[in-house]
């Protein structure tokens, strides 16, 4: 991308994907280990190097969302029970966090896309 706003938009998309995947792991893996903050929650580069890498990023986001939805649809899933990695947080709390985080950064993306003239006000 040629401009700073465009690079920031892609950087934000990476962050959303990384964080969403981390929250899925937090909910489903008993032996979860938290990534290092903040370096592991942000991409090493500011834009995909290729169209293939961009497609992989979009696929990762969609697949993680599908995994979260599948978890919620399981008959045995109890939203009020603790997640696999800790007794401190419920699945309901973590799903709310995913929604809130994606909405927050999604709003930032809309603002950036408006500033770039990609979408109209």
Distance CA 65, CA 81 (A): 20
Average the pLDDT over each of 6-10, 27-31, 65-69 and give the range with the smallest value: 6-10
DSSP-derived letter for residue 39 is G
Instruction: Give the pLDDT of residue 75.
Output: 95
* 1 has a pLDDT exceeding 80: no
Give the pLDDT band (50/70/90) at residue 93: very high
pLDDT tops 90 at residue 112: no
* Residues sharing a CB contact under 8 Å with residue 77, sequence separation 6 or more, in sequence order: 71, 91
């Amino acid at each position: 991308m040629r401009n700073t706003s465009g690079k920031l938009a892609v950087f934000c998309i990476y962050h959303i994907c990384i964080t969403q995947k981390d929250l899925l792991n937090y909910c489903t893996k008993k032996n979860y280990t938290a990534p290092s903050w903040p370096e592991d929650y942000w991409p090493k580069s500011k834009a995909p190097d290729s169209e293939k890498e961009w497609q992989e990023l979009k696929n990762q986001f969609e697949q993680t969302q599908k995994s979260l939805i599948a978890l919620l649809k399981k008959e045995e899933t109890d939203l009020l029970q603790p997640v696999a990695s800790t007794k401190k947080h419920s699945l309901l709390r973590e799903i709310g966090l995913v929604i809130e985080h994606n909405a927050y950064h999604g709003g930032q993306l809309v603002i950036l896309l408006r500033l770039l003239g990609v979408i109209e006000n």
